[in-house]
Amino acid sequence: MLVYKFGGASVKDARGVKNLANIVQHNAQHLLFIVVSAMGKTTNALEKLAKAYYEQDSDMHDIFEDIKQYHYQIAHDLFGDEDPVFIDLNNTFVEIDWMLEDEPQDDFDFIYDQIVSIGELASTRIVNAYLNHFGINSTWLDVRGYIHTDNTYREGLVDMDKSCAIIKKEIPALLQKGVVVTQGFLGGTSENFTTTLGREGSDYTAAIFASCLQAKSVTTWKDVPGILNADPKLFSDTVKFDELTYNEAIEMTYYGATVIHPKTIKPLQNAGIPLLVKPFNDVNGAGTIIKEHANQHFPKPVIIVKPGQTLLSVSAKDYSFISEDHLSDVFRLFAKHHVHINIMQTSALSFSVCFNVHEERFEQLLTDLKKDFKVKYNSGLTLYTIRHFQQNALRDLIGDKTVLLEQTSRNTAQVVVK
């Protein structure tokens, strides 16, 4: 049994959905479990909608209408105007239509998950309908009944034991009937509310199902030839890795490589399941394989770029040394507000951290920190992480940028610049 995951770029239009069907047909001799992300840039658009609704902006209905028409157009290109999938799409979208009629009563993270989750629900309806239309027996599955999480909205913590129990009980029989299509990125709480697993969380979804079902492998289909040493949108001279170890992949995702979700590797490594990253437009392309023992080499350093960073420094109000007690309080507040630290540095009188900014969380964090500490920060920064680096490569990358924080170890350099 194989698990396939298709990202948003792979299903951004009707042509992409047709290509997905061709890939599935090409591998029809296998039992296939398919995880699909939201189409194209739908998640970004739904994030914009969630913010507009929360702030009661006048254009929220227009934003949602554009999202609906985008999906209707793809469905029209695939089926014409007569197909039951249009009823399924209408039923998917109507929940948000109802939501937009009332003023927001819940906190932003809860609202975010209820709105943004619509992207995966709509995309899988279209993909499942087209596979059946194409002649492939396919079953649509609501993942929220299988991936059980706590109530941490936007970063749901998965209950692996509970999730695996129902996956093992119900999914094998469905696979015997044909392909199973479900949503990535989503989970459900015990109160039947929707949660999300963090941006790019569809890879993690695929890994959970693969681990529970003891799949032969997971393949994530991308719009790149495999895992590259750097983002090809930012660097023109990238190289592809043929093989990587689980450990190297974990390091890369920890530092922010977006080609794989950070939580993806652990369940696969625990079960000894290889992860293949393959090009969506070349079904026979070798891609990259991630496994326990790999023949990996690094002709060029791995470069990970994270824009939109904030560098924040705290110090004691009485000018005392930063002690373990101070650090404990700071970490507690970062954990409370679910703000993830990308790099940290301690001096005698201050503690500095660099992190991604979620506007709502940052304001709450700042309020709490200022109760006990002096706080200074700079926003709009960029964090460069270079693994397997050489000093000349690091200097060339930084150029004439202003360095605000720098750390180097044997294998990894991190630099915060503006």
CA atoms of 385 and 303, how far apart (whole Å): 6
Distances (CA, A) of 287 to 221, 239, 284: 9, 12, 9
Q: Which residue bears the tokens 């989750």?
A: 117
pLDDT in tens, 75-112: 999 999 889 999 999 999 999 999 999 999 999 999 99
Q: What is the pLDDT of residue 303?
A: 94
Please report the domains of the chain, with CATH numbers, ordered by start residue. Answer: 2-291 (3.40.1160.10), 302-417 (3.30.2130.10)
Four-point Cα dihedral 78, 79, 80, 83, nearest 10: -150
Determine the residue type at 383.
Answer: L
First to last CA, the chain: 48
Asked if 164 contacts 214 with a C-beta cutoff of 8 angstroms, the reply is no
Token pair for residue 118?
A: 């619509």
Collapsed DSSP state (helix, strand, coil) of residue 365: helix
Residue 126: pLDDT band (50, 70, 90) is: very high
pLDDT in tens, 14-63: 999 999 999 999 998 999 999 999 999 999 999 999 999 999 999 999 99
Q: For 179-190, what is the mean pLDDT?
A: 97
Residue 151: pLDDT band (50, 70, 90) is: very high
Strand pairing partners for 180? Answer: 33, 139
For residue 155, count other CB atoms closer than 10 A to its CB. 18
pLDDT in tens, 354-374: 999 888 889 999 999 999 999
The structure's pTM equals 0.91
For every residue of 66-135, DSSP letters joined together read HHHHHHHHHHHHHHTT--THHHHHHHHHHHHHHHHTS---S-HHHHHHHHHTHHHHHHHHHHHHHHHHTT
Nearest of 235, 303, 243, 241 to residue 275 by alpha carbon = 243
* pLDDT of 393 over the 80 cut: no
Residue 412: pLDDT band (50, 70, 90) is: very high
Residue 278: pLDDT band (50, 70, 90) is: very high
Q: What is the pLDDT of residue 134?
A: 96
State percent of the chain over pLDDT 90. Answer: 86
Q: What is the pLDDT of residue 47?
A: 97
Q: What is the pLDDT of residue 257?
A: 83
Q: What is the 3-state secondary structure (H, E, C) of 254-308?
A: HCCCCCCCCCCHHHHHHHCCCEEEEECCCCCCCCEEEECCCCCCCCCCEEEEEEE
Q: What is the pLDDT of residue 200?
A: 78
Residue 201: pLDDT band (50, 70, 90) is: confident
pLDDT in tens, 206-225: 999 999 999 999 999 998 89
* pLDDT of 319 over the 90 cut: no
Q: What is the pLDDT of residue 336?
A: 93
CA atoms within 13 A on the CB side of 228: 17
Token pair for residue 54?
A: 């929360």
Nearest of 1, 348, 403 to residue 168 by alpha carbon = 1
Q: What average pLDDT is seen over the chain?
A: 94
Residue 189: pLDDT band (50, 70, 90) is: very high
CA atoms of 37 and 241, how far apart (whole Å): 24
Asked if 397 contacts 308 with a C-beta cutoff of 8 angstroms, the reply is no
CA atoms of 300 and 219, how far apart (whole Å): 25
* pLDDT of 258 over the 80 cut: no
CA atoms of 356 and 200, how far apart (whole Å): 15
Q: Which residues neighbour 35 within 8 Å (Cβ) at sequence distance 6 or greater?
A: 3, 4, 5, 6, 182, 183, 184, 202, 205, 206, 209
Collapsed DSSP state (helix, strand, coil) of residue 36: strand
